[in-house]
A = this chain, B = another copy of it.
Amino acid sequence: MELNQIVTSIQSKQEAIQSVYFVGCGGSKADLYPGFYFLRSNAKKLIVGHYTANEFNYDTPAAVGENSIVITCSLGGNTPETVKATSLAKSLGAHVIAVTHEPESPLTKDADYVVTHGFFESYSAKMDKMTKILTLAVEILNAFEGYDYYEQFMDGVEKIYGAIDEATKLLVPQAKAFGEAYKDAPVIYVMSSGATTEVAYSFSICLLLEMQWVNSGSFSDGEFFHGHSKSWKKTSHSCS
């Protein structure tokens, strides 16, 4: 089912959608952020929330119910907290969309709709999860409140995959040089802001800490002039 068909289907069952929640853990939580950020900025009536799965499970927002859309996300579809959140949201009457690379995984069992994304095929496939979730957010805003830039967004999103693969070719040499230069850095801090704030977060926790065992922390660059960054000069390297 196409993303716009999922939203049309929800709308046919419940015209009065009042809240939209994005729920996941780790890198998948981060990949939900641009969709959350878009709706939080642009919606005039929708309640929008972004949760780590167990906070959703154990301190479930009072507004979750039949007027809610809950989007859960797990790459392999096995993250226990996110699987539980999917079932919980369904039991509360919400319209639940599971986003995963594995269409037959436990995450999809209690979901009303399943969005399958690429991942291993190319660099742009790695961004497919984030892109589809952002597109879902745009479809939701357009369906329930209207969105003036809908056509432009859909035109742009078709081009993003090619643009990512082209950009990767240009940037891989710089990335390799960065890796060589800073492979022994004691700490690497990562900064970002706006819709990509949690790209810094997932770069830090997934790519540096988990995969490289390089110490790392991440911050919104809204914090850059507020004190703590003066300590970085002494001992560490940062990228943004």
Interface of A with B (CB < 8 Å)? Answer: 18, 25-26, 40-49, 52-55, 59, 61-63, 79, 81, 186-187, 189, 193-194, 204-206, 209-210, 213-220, 222-223, 226-232, 234-236
Partner of A205, one of B42, B49, B63, B227: B227
CB <8 Å contact, B210 and A228: yes
Return the chain B residue nearest A189 by Cβ.
Answer: B217
Please indicate the chain B residues that have their CB under 8 angstroms from the CB of A25 in the complex. 222-223, 226
Q: Which 10 A-B pairs have the closest CB atoms?
A: A217-B217, A52-B222, A209-B228, A26-B226, A210-B227, A210-B228, A213-B231, A205-B228, A187-B215, A44-B63
Instruction: Give the CA-CA distance A186 to B236 in the complex, in Å.
Output: 11
Q: How many chain copies does the complex carry?
A: 2
Given contacts A46-B47, A218-B217, A230-B210, whether A52 and B205 have CB atoms under 8 Å apart is: no
CB <8 Å contact, A186 and B205: no
Please indicate the chain B residues that have their CB under 8 angstroms from the CB of A227 in the complex. 26, 205-206, 209-210
Please indicate the chain B residues that have their CB under 8 angstroms from the CB of A59 in the complex. 41, 194
Return the chain B residue nearest A195 by Cβ.
Answer: B59
Instruction: Give the CA-CA distance A146 to B193 in the complex, in Å.
Output: 35
Given contacts A186-B186, A217-B217, A222-B25, whether A40 and B52 have CB atoms under 8 Å apart is: no
Please indicate the chain B residues that have their CB under 8 angstroms from the CB of A223 in the complex. 25-26, 52, 205
Distance between A231 CB and nearest chain B CB, rounded to angstroms: 4
Instruction: Give the CA-CA distance A127 to B49 in the complex, in Å.
Output: 26
CB <8 Å contact, A43 and B63: yes
Please indicate the chain B residues that have their CB under 8 angstroms from the CB of A81 in the complex. 222
Instruction: Give the CA-CA distance A133 to B216 in the complex, in Å.
Output: 31
Distance between A197 CB and nearest chain B CB, rounded to angstroms: 8
Partner of A40, one of B26, B41, B61, B79: B61
Query: By CB atoms of chain B within 10 A, which of A43, A61, A209 has the most?
Result: A209
Please indicate the chain B residues that have their CB under 8 angstroms from the CB of A228 in the complex. 26, 205-206, 209-210
Between-chain CB contacts (< 8 Å), 10 pairs: A42-B62, A43-B62, A52-B223, A55-B220, A186-B186, A186-B187, A205-B227, A205-B228, A206-B228, A217-B217
Please indicate the chain B residues that have their CB under 8 angstroms from the CB of A214 in the complex. 231
